[in-house]
Structure 1
Amino acid sequence: MSAPPVDAIEKKEQPVESQEAKAQPTEKSARVAVVQQATSTYGDSSDEENEDGEEGQPEIEDEQILEDLPDDTQEIELIHSKLFAISKLGLSRFTQLKKLCLRQNYISVLDPEALGPLTELEDLDLYDNRIKHVGTALDTLTKLHTLDLSFNNLKHVPHSLPKLTTLRTVYFVQNRISRIENLSGLGRTLRSLELGGNKIRKIEGLEELVNLEEVWLGKNKISKLEGLHTLKKLKILSIQSNRITKLEGLEELESLEEIYISHNGIKKIEGLEKNLNLRTIDVGNNDITELENVSHLSNLEELWMSYNKIETLQALEPQLKHISTLETIYLEGNPVQAKEGPHYRRKIILALPQLKQLDATYVKQI
């Protein structure tokens, strides 16, 4: 079993490919590497040409980076390429482009003339740049499915977003956004919304997003669970590291399968009576004193309750023993662990014989 996600800004998570994994820099200059890749794909390259990227060789100009790529190229990746702008790349000729990745550069302005002709674009990745606003640069990208503007300097959700009526997944992780807005018009297509690591204080502006399946709001300043009642198809709610003190407002989320709400100030497990499809509950690092109100969750597979204030194992059997699907439970860091001492692990396994994992280790048969 893997540990629960700490959130979108440290995962990418979870339902999607890791942001960190995608962001690894190339060993050679990416400017040279991309040209070498294009050459080897569309023609032969000699050993001498493959040495062009070694230290000491002059870097190519922006205008030259993509010059060897054919006009019908469908994917372009320029990661860690020291780009300050996109206006000189000649992107406008790639009218069949479907994926454009410009991660880990220094781009601060998006040029509408450069991006405007890319009307077939489905995936635009601008993770880790210096973008403060997008203006009208995205207005024509009406076939865009995935947009990643994480780790930039955005203060607002882009106003042009409603024009992108095919969007399914958007990432605005680790920006300076203080309000959830400008999402109206995306209700038909949007499935995943990531706004972790911002300055959001209130859950709002989600009412029309009735097809959302994942919401990631970790590491904000949210103090109350609210504004979620229309999200009937929501499967994953991640709202870790906020200021929430009560589990509430989840009654309408009958499709909910995973909730991650660790590192808050929750004192009691409650309000889950209608969430019968829950498979994973992460309430670690809160102020919970008792295991309760989960006995009805017959599909539960993983329960994470580390570092709370639980002092007894008495509730384990009545709350969990009958749940045959339960495979993993975390209780380490609670007062009961020190209280039970060497008997802690054995007592839990005897109470819950269906377990496959207790805390960080697999369960061995007693």
Structure 2
Amino acid sequence: MVKLNINLILSGVSGNTKKMRDESISHFLSRLTHLHLQERQLDEIKCDLSMCPNLLVLYLYDNKLPRIPTLDGNKFLTRLYLQDNSIGTITNLSSLRNLKVLYLGGNCLNIIEGLENLWELEELYVENQNLPPGEKLLFGSSSIMAIAPSLRILKTSGNQLDSLKELQPLHGLTHLYINNNKLFSMKDLSDVLINMYQLVQLEVYSNPFCLLNKFRDKIIILVKSLEMLDGREISKTTKKFLHNWSVSKNALKRNECKAINSHFPMNHLAKGDAADNGRKAFPRFATIAGYVIPSLPIRKEFSRILAKASTVKNDATNKVSSSFNQTLH
């Protein structure tokens, strides 16, 4: 067991900051801005870090801390490094109103909460939590809403996520890392990304939806501000090509709708019976604005339907003609 004490604190002072001759230890500690206490096997912070009231950056990563130490006396902290410890709950952060960067990856968190007062937080790293089998990382709604206006970078890779709905309020993100999760649905992803107008970098690899055809193209079309996807730069040429392709595809769908409506008009039916009659006559079709249109079949299927209808019509005509000729003879 290793507990933090005055001697360890003094050993964690950067070489650029030196104690002056005849300067008291308390005065020396009071003017520290950076404190390096990483990789010390610490499992308890015994002394009060308020003896360093002007700290801006605190390094506590790669230790064995089971909890976040009391930091009420360090209200000027802007960067806090707590990754790769054994922290199970986010506590003792409510006084850090100036905190901008928080590293909590590689701990034992199962829910992100306790961030309600971190109104200046810009970067949050909570990747690769040591979760029990079958569990996923959760995000408390009150914490997400509190940091949403300021947060720009979120890293939540490797946390067994199967949905991103809890992240919908984060409209201001510029960087999002959600790779190595269990995201299956492109629609769920789209519902979150569609409102992230400032997103420039996104990592999604090693999710199940990445097996879908053209998933990368769909993301680029959806997020117009994106510049980097899974470590690959998106060129302006690629963006322009995919945009034009999407516009052409949507126009083609609209034209197919119009063509089908013209072949199957419903305005000759009684108003009250149009929808019902349309469904009976064409059960695969959907009724929109008084017309019966299909649920956008592909062109080959549409052509097959029209060809079949034409064949049936010709057969009926030939039978009538043959019957008429036999009557005459």
Asked if these proteins are the same fold (TM beyond 0.5), I'd say yes
> 1:284 is matched with which residue?
157
Q: How many residues align?
A: 218
Say if 2:196 and 2:223, in contact at 8 Å, map to a contact too.
Answer: no
Say if 1:220 and 1:242, in contact at 8 Å, map to a contact too.
Answer: yes
**Mapped partners of 1:315, 1:162: distance in 2:** 54
> 1:229 is matched with which residue?
94
**Mapped partners of 2:26, 2:210: distance in 1:** 49
Match of 2:52 among 186, 204, 210: 186
> 2:215 is matched with which residue?
344
**Mapped partners of 2:23, 2:193: distance in 1:** 48
Say if 1:210 and 1:231, in contact at 8 Å, map to a contact too.
Answer: yes
Secondary structure, counterpart of 1:347 in structure 2: helix
CA deviations over 1:204-244 (Å, ceiling 9, x no partner): 22121111001001111111111111111100000111111
Identity %: 24
**Mapped partners of 1:343, 1:138: distance in 2:** 60
Say if 1:234 and 1:253, in contact at 8 Å, map to a contact too.
Answer: yes
> 1:324 is matched with which residue?
197
Structure with the higher helix share, 1 or 2: 2
Which has the larger displacement, 245-254 or 315-324?
315-324
Q: 1:177 to 1:162 in 2, by over 3 A?
A: farther
**Mapped partners of 1:262, 1:140: distance in 2:** 44
> 2:177 is matched with which residue?
304
**Mapped partners of 2:224, 2:76: distance in 1:** 38
TM-score (norm 1): 0.55
1:295 CA displacement:
3.1
Q: 1:142 to 1:351 in 2, by over 3 A?
A: farther
Q: 1:354 to 1:140 in 2, by over 3 A?
A: same
Secondary structure, counterpart of 1:293 in structure 2: helix
Which one-letter code corresponds to 1:321 in the other structure? I
CA deviations over 1:308-345 (Å, ceiling 9, x no partner): 1111111233322232211111111111112x1x4221
Question: Is 1:267 the equivalent of 2:137?
Answer: yes
**Mapped partners of 2:70, 2:183: distance in 1:** 36
Alignment of 1:98-117 (within 5 A): none
**Mapped partners of 1:123, 1:203: distance in 2:** 22
> 2:15 is matched with which residue?
124
Say if 1:327 and 1:356, in contact at 8 Å, map to a contact too.
Answer: yes
**Mapped partners of 1:141, 1:333: distance in 2:** 58
Say if 2:155 and 2:178, in contact at 8 Å, map to a contact too.
Answer: yes
1:124 CA displacement:
1.5
Alignment of 1:107-256 (within 5 A): 123-124=14-15, 163-180=28-45, 181-187=47-53, 189-256=54-121
> 2:304 is matched with which residue?
none
Secondary structure, counterpart of 2:210 in structure 1: helix
**Mapped partners of 2:183, 2:56: distance in 1:** 36
Secondary structure, counterpart of 1:315 in structure 2: helix
CA deviations over 1:230-279 (Å, ceiling 9, x no partner): 11110000011111111111111111000011010342344311102000
Q: 1:263 to 1:162 in 2, by over 3 A?
A: farther
Q: 1:170 to 1:252 in 2, by over 3 A?
A: same
Say if 1:327 and 1:357, in contact at 8 Å, map to a contact too.
Answer: yes
Point out where structure 2 has 5 or more consecutive residues left out of the alignment: 1-6, 243-329
**Which protein shows a greater Rg?**
2
Which one-letter code corresponds to 2:80 in the other structure? V
TM-score (norm 2): 0.61
> 1:50 is matched with which residue?
none
Match of 2:186 among 306, 313, 320: 313
Alignment of 1:2-151 (within 5 A): 123-124=14-15
Say if 1:161 and 1:182, in contact at 8 Å, map to a contact too.
Answer: no
Say if 2:180 and 2:204, in contact at 8 Å, map to a contact too.
Answer: yes
Say if 1:268 and 1:290, in contact at 8 Å, map to a contact too.
Answer: no
Say if 1:269 and 1:292, in contact at 8 Å, map to a contact too.
Answer: no
**Mapped partners of 1:263, 1:162: distance in 2:** 39
**Mapped partners of 1:349, 1:314: distance in 2:** 14
Say if 1:263 and 1:286, in contact at 8 Å, map to a contact too.
Answer: yes
Point out where structure 1 has 5 or more consecutive residues left out of the alignment: 1-109, 116-121, 127-136, 144-159
Say if 1:193 and 1:216, in contact at 8 Å, map to a contact too.
Answer: yes
Q: 1:198 to 1:354 in 2, by over 3 A?
A: same
**Mapped partners of 2:207, 2:77: distance in 1:** 35
